[in-house]
Amino acid sequence: MTPLLEFAKGPLFRLCFVIMLLGLARIIFLDIWAAYKAYKKAGDKKMPWKLTLSRTWEWVFPVKRLIHNFQVYSVLSILFHIGLILVPIFLFAHIQLWKGALGISWPALPYGWAFWLTISTIVFGVSLYIGRLVIKQARMLSRKQDYLWLILLLIPFITGFVCANISISPGSYQFFMTVHVLSGELIFILIPFSKIAHCVLQPLSQLVSTLAWKFPPDTDDDICTTLNKKGAPV
């Protein structure tokens, strides 16, 4: 193992993981704190919990989407996300890494599952990338980061697959493994500061959207005063 790879798998991994955890904890805290403050300020505190929770459930486990609009796109996206979540957490080799770095472990995915999930994630990820390029409305909406994120997310999958399943020279293996680990760590660091924060914030979206309609009372006067419009006609 090269010193760089050793460093990347050891201290750097721990550092990046901690940055990700703290970053995610920060945005979850900020979100929940903002929601709490909004709730406290709201004139009407009666929340439609049932509707909010059912819509949250529908989107955290978007099974209904499989038979909904834009089916191909939705199916690809859902399958892509399944691999994206399961493989990094439940791959046997990763669990060893977690165990080495953090001292904890859990059951691993069977090899066959991991193999096919990795392939499907790569294939579906590439398909989504092509979709962004080809579908007019998706292309129009896409920012640079939307394309870059797909590429960045696929790098550890492709390099990891090569290392685990293809016979290559030790030198090449070291190279692919280094890219694999470093790209994974770059993702860790960027998650809390990018749109990938949706991995923890998306389940709060329906709550935020519902709460956002719960306005504070008596703001008319305050806003008029701030904008110097007191007594001005409509």
Partner 1 sequence: MKTSRITDDERAKALKSSIKPEVIEKQKLNVRYNIEKFDVNDRPRRFLEAFAAILKHSNYRMMLDHYSRIVSRCSLCTTTCHVYQATGNPEDIPCYRSGLLLDVYKRHFTLAGELKGRISGGGYLTDEKIQEMADSFWNCTACRRCALECPMGLDHGLITHLGRYILSEIGIAPRALVVSTREQLEGKTKNTSAIPVPALKDTLEFLEDDMFEEKSVRIKFPLDVEGADYVFFAAVSDYLMEAETLMGIAAVFAATGDKWTIGTGYYDGINYGLFYSDRILERVVKQVDEETKRLKGKNILIGECGHASRSAKQFIPTYCGGEKALPVVSILEYTHKAWKEGRLKLGPDVVTEKVAYHDPCNFARNRWIINQPREVLKAFCKNYVEMTPSGDNNICCGGGGGTVSIDEIRPYRTTVGGKLKADQIRKSGCEILVAPCANCKKQLRELVEDQGINVQVVGLHDLIYKAIIFDDSLIEKKEEQPSGKEEK
Minimum CB separation from partner 1 for residue 163, in Å? 30
Minimum CB separation from partner 1 for residue 189, in Å? 15
Q: How far apart are CA 148 and CA 15, in angstroms?
A: 23
DSSP 8-class letter at 230:
T
Q: How far apart are CA 84 and CA 100, in angstroms?
A: 22
Closer by beta carbon to partner 1, 88 or else 203? 203
Minimum CB separation from partner 1 for residue 51, in Å? 6
- CB contact set of 171 (below 8 Å; sequence gap of 6+): none
Q: How far apart are CA 177 and CA 182, in angstroms?
A: 8
Closer by beta carbon to partner 1, 123 or else 201? 201
Residue type for 216, please? P
Closer by beta carbon to partner 1, 104 or else 227? 227
Q: How far apart are CA 59 and CA 78, in angstroms?
A: 11
Minimum CB separation from partner 1 for residue 40, in Å? 10
Minimum CB separation from partner 1 for residue 16, in Å? 20
Closer by beta carbon to partner 1, 111 or else 193? 193
Closer by beta carbon to partner 1, 97 or else 152? 152
Minimum CB separation from partner 1 for residue 89, in Å? 21
DSSP-derived 3-state class of residue 63: helix
Residues binding partner 1 (CB under 8 A): 27, 30-31, 34-35, 37-38, 41-46, 48, 51, 55-56, 59, 62, 65, 69-70, 73-74, 77, 135-138, 140-143, 146, 193, 195, 197-198, 201-202, 204-206, 208-209, 211-220, 222-224, 226-227, 233-234
Closer by beta carbon to partner 1, 77 or else 118? 77
Query: Helical H runs in the chain?
Result: 3-9, 11-41, 49-60, 71-90, 92-102, 111-134, 136-141, 144-165, 170-190, 198-201, 205-212, 219-226
Q: What distance separates the 2 farthest-apart alpha carbons in the chain? A: 80
